[in-house]
Amino acid sequence: MAFRSGVVAVVGRPNVGKSSLINALVGEKVAIVSDKPQTTRFPIRGVLTGEGFQIVFTDTPGFHKPRTTLGERLNARVAEAVLDVDVVMQVVDVAAGVGRGDAFVAESKVRPHRGSRICALNKIDRIRHRDLPPHLEAAGALAEFDHVVPVSARTGAGLEELRLVLVESLPEGEPFYPAGEVTDTPLEVRVAEIVREKALAVAREEVPHSIAVVVEEIARDPKTGFVSITAFLYVERPSQQGILVGKGGLTLKDIGTRARLELESVLGAKVYLDLRVKVQREWQRDPGALRRLGL
C-alpha cells in the first residue's frame, strides 16, 4: 500500500476546540489550550505519523470579525493557512450549536477549497446522544463536506473514525517529517506559548487578549543540563500590569510555577524561569509593536 501524506488546515470560529482536537489526534500537546477566545495566534503544526501515513495539522486562529490590527493579522493567517493544503477541516462546537459564525467560516474558508472538506462536530460529550442528529444535519448544511464526523477531543470519542477519514483524504506521497516528530514549532515560540497559556488561566477577563509573551533568552548549562529562561509578558496598560503581577507578586509567581512544571516536562531538565511584566501601550493596534512582538 502506498504511503499517504498531506496537510490539513484546521479552521473554525473562536473557542470551538481546534487546538484540543489537534492535541488529541496527535497524542501529545503541541498547541496551548484555553477557554478564552482567540487563544491561538500562530499557525502551530502538529504531526501525526502512523502505519503508512503522515498527517500534518495546521492549527489556525479562530476566524472572527476583527476589532484590532492584531485581529486582522490573525484572520490573514487563517487565509494563508488554507492555501495549497490537501484538506480543510472545519471544527464546530455542537454544545454551542451551529451558528452564524460557523456559517461565516464555512462560506469564506471551506467552500472555496477545491480539495477534501471535512467537518468535525466537536464536544459531543456535552450533549445527549439523542440530540445529535439535528446538529449533524445543521453542520452538514454549512458546506459540501465529504464527511461530517461527531467527536469529542476531551473523551476521545470518534477520533479513530476521524483519523481514518483524514488518511483516506490524503494524496500519496512521502512523509514531510521524520517519524517521532510531533511539531516543528521553534522552541522559543513553544516556551512563550506555554507561559501565555498559564497567564490566561489565572488572568482576569479584561486582561487575556492584552497579553503577549516574548522569550528573551534560553540558556542550558552544558555540565548540569539546567535550563535558564527569561521571558517578558507584555500588557497594554499599567492597571493590567498590576493585575498580572498580583499582590506581592503572587499572581506572577503562580504563572511561573505552572509554566515551569510543564517546561521541565517539555525540555527534560530542571528549569529556572524569570518572568517580567512590561507595558506596551495599545500594542494590539500598533503595527510596529506587533512586529516587535513577533505577531
Cell numbers linked to 14: 473562536
Go through 256-278 and write b for each residue having 16 or more CB atoms within 10 A of its CB, e for each that does not. bebbbebbeeebeeebebebebe
Q: Which residues contact 86 (CB under 8 A, 6 or more apart)?
A: 6, 7, 8, 115, 116, 169, 170, 171
What does DSSP say about strands 147-150 and 116-122: parallel, antiparallel, or unpaired? parallel
Q: Domains along the chain?
A: 4-169 (3.40.50.300), 187-292 (3.30.300.20)
Whether 23 contacts 29, CB under 8 Å: yes
Closest CA to 218 of 193, 194, 192, 251: 192
Tens-digit pLDDT string for the chain (295 aa): 789 999 899 999 888 999 899 999 999 888 767 665 555 556 678 899 999 999 999 877 654 454 556 555 555 555 555 567 899 999 999 999 999 999 999 998 899 888 999 999 999 999 999 999 999 999 999 999 999 999 999 999 999 999 999 999 999 999 989 988 998 888 888 899 899 889 988 876 666 577 889 999 999 998 898 999 999 999 888 988 998 899 999 999 999 999 999 999 989 999 999 999 999 887 777 777 777 777 6
**Calpha distance 228→283 (Å, rounded):** 27
The answer to whether 121 and 151 have CB atoms below 8 angstroms apart is yes
CA distance 165 to 86: 13
Q: Do strands 53-59 and 4-11 pair parallel, antiparallel, or not at all (unpaired)?
A: parallel
